[in-house]
Chain A
């Protein structure tokens, strides 16, 4: 039997690589702790998820929507601490597991 493909539709799905492989098993793991919206959604001030509403990683390994975290860090009450562990917030380099080695 021969099949002739006349037309096809591509379907793609994306997720942020939060570095937390168990996120799917962990109910709380895949939402931003500040706004409680999934990482794949956007922070409450944005309309479109994706590169315009990225995530931010702390050196303490906690992840938030960047806009949510910056809003919190901007308040005096935050004392510039991570909302999860109250350590001084330090933004980490984004960790990408399968990143190709840098070419220079």
Chain B
């Protein structure tokens, strides 16, 4: 049995035997090198109550090369791509060490949800949102947890229909409606305002002309 297979088999078994841990690792198909991990969103964060699934691929030279991980569950976080689930975390890149395990790496992802690093972003638009208005960012992240990760919604999110594209983009209905009334399609307005980071104090820096210019692109 090769070293990689032996270590991975052991790691999966250890994780199964640890009943006190909230981290789960399971196989997806027959391959022991393509796995699915999951953990609950940390308490006291916008991710609380959600369950987050991670796609795990174990490279040929594991544990001498870092394991490949990305979010399967959509998550609104500066260090996670909102489109692809790709993760920006040093231990998944140049700070990897062979003493790290699948379980300890999943725990690191869980703690990344507690402490975003907007200065080293994976998703620049989400990071801008975070830095412009943390309250608005947290509302959007909570809404994503509600609709994508099965978490309870905030009071605001509960009033909205599931899959509200304005809330998913982290924007205000009143702002979107103002430009829709000018005759622009809603999806286009949502896209433009998200790209411009039309939130909080930043709105003062964006004249209507600038928005319309973006809409006419």
Task: Give A residues with C-beta under 8 Å from B.
Answer: 33-37, 44-45, 68, 71-72, 75, 77, 83-84, 86
Taking CB atoms, residues of chain A closer than 8 Å to B63 are 34-35
Closest to B4 in A: A44
Residues in B neighbouring A44, C-beta threshold 8 A: 2-3, 6
Q: Are B98 and A33 in contact (CB under 8 A)?
A: yes
**CB contacts between A and B, total, < 8 Å:** 33
The answer to whether the Cβ of B21 comes within 8 Å of any Cβ in the partner chain is no
Contact in complex: B3, A77 (CB < 8 Å): no
The CA-CA distance from A81 to B102 in the complex, in Å, is: 21
A91-B214 Cα distance, complex, nearest whole Å: 61
For chain B residues 103-133, which have a beta carbon within 8 Å of chain A? none
Q: Which of B7, B94, B96 touches A35 (beta carbons < 8 Å)?
A: B7
**Number of B positions contacting A (CB below 8 A):** 15
A36 to B98, CA, bound (A): 10
User: Which residues does chain B contribute within 8 Å of A77, judged by CB atoms?
Assistant: 64-65, 94, 96
A33 to B65, CA, bound (A): 15
Assuming A44-B3, A45-B3, A86-B97, is B65 touching A36 (CB within 8 A)? no
Q: How far is the CA of A100 from the CA of B201 in the complex (A)?
A: 75
Please give, as numbers and ranges, the residues of chain A lying within 8 Å of B55 by CB-CB distance: none
Residues of A within 8 A of B98 (CB): 33-34, 68, 72, 83
Nearest-Cβ distance from residue B68 to partner chain A, whole angstroms:
14
Q: Which residues in B have their C-beta under 8 angstroms from that of A75?
A: 64
Contact A35-B64, Cβ < 8 Å, known A83-B97, A83-B99: no
- The CB with the most chain B CB atoms within 10 A, among A33, A35, A36, A68, is that of A36
Cα distance, A85 to B64, chains bound together (Å): 16
Q: How far is the CB of B63 from chain A (nearest CB, A)?
A: 6
B3 near A84 with CB under 8 A, answer no
Select from chain B the residue with minimum beta-carbon distance to A86. B97
A34 partner residues in chain B, CB cutoff 8 A:
63, 98-99
Residue in B closest to A37 when the chains form the complex, CB atoms = B6
A sample of 9 cross-chain residue pairs with beta-carbon separation below 8 angstroms, ordered by A number, consists of: A33-B98, A34-B63, A37-B6, A71-B64, A72-B64, A75-B64, A77-B64, A77-B94, A77-B96
